[in-house]
Amino acid sequence: MTRLEDEGRPRCSFLAVLLCALLGAASGALAQAQEILYSMSPNDAWPKGTRADGKLTALSFAFGAQVAGTGARAQPSAAQDTLLLIPVGEPVALWFRAAMTGRFLNTVLVEFPFAGEKAQTRAPFAVRFTEVFVTSVQVSKSSGAAPGVVEVKFKARKFEIFTATQDATGAMKPGYPFNWDYAKQSSF
């Protein structure tokens, strides 16, 4: 045998072990897959989703905060656009109406429950936006069989973040919450 063949066996064994480890991790990650759901305040006339809990499905969600400066020089935080990507459907007209009329929505709740789970008392992550102003609605569709999507951007006066962790029995236990009021520049 040549030296290259001798080095190849350990390398192939290492790659086989690595592949098995990655497949095991991927199957564990799939077991913990999460959905993105959203719902509106009961005071807002909004259609219910087809799920038993009436929540609507989103395809993607992006939310963040940015503060300029640090320490004593930090400037007040400002609301950034939150992005909700949803499939084309009945709610699209209502998002457009909110954007075009400048009407505030009372609340928008976005949750990340485990995929395929029945209604839970608490999702691992949720954020409730209050006094929501829709800043942009864009509908897009490419040719082919892919469905159309709607990109909704909005700002809120307040937000509340809720987290939860799963204990050894599988029950969801409350985690660390956080809330912020942009008008008061403080937690509430």
Residues of the chain where predicted confidence (pLDDT) is lower than 70? 1-32, 117-121
DSSP 95-144: HHHHHHHTPPEEEEEEE-PBTT----S--SEEEEEEEEEEEEEEEE--SS
- At residue 33, the pLDDT reads 86
- At residue 42, the pLDDT reads 86
- At residue 81, the pLDDT reads 93
The tally of domains found in the chain comes to: 2
Distance CA(135)–CA(155), nearest Å, equals 7
Distance CA(50)–CA(43), nearest Å, equals 19
Whether residue 187 lies inside any domain: the answer is: no
Whether residue 106 lies inside any domain: the answer is: yes
Of 119, 114, 113, 112, nearest in space to 31 by CA: 114
DSSP 30-58: HHT-B-EEEEE-TTS-----SSTT-PEEE
- At residue 130, the pLDDT reads 97
- At residue 30, the pLDDT reads 42
Give the domain extent around 24: 1-31
Distance CA(69)–CA(143), nearest Å, equals 45
- At residue 129, the pLDDT reads 97
- At residue 147, the pLDDT reads 83
Locate 2 and state its tokens: 């040549």
Whether residue 52 lies inside any domain: the answer is: yes
Under DSSP, is residue 2 helix (H, G, I), strand (E, B) or coil?
coil
- At residue 164, the pLDDT reads 92
Same domain? For 41 and 10 the reply is no
- At residue 167, the pLDDT reads 85
- For 133, phi then psi, to 5°, come to -115, 120
Whether residue 186 lies inside any domain: the answer is: no
Residues contacting 160, CB < 8 A, separation 6+: 127, 128, 130, 177, 178, 179
Same domain? For 69 and 109 the reply is yes
CB of 19 within 8 A of CB of 11? no
Same domain? For 26 and 56 the reply is no
Whichever domain contains 127, its CATH number is: 2.30.110.20
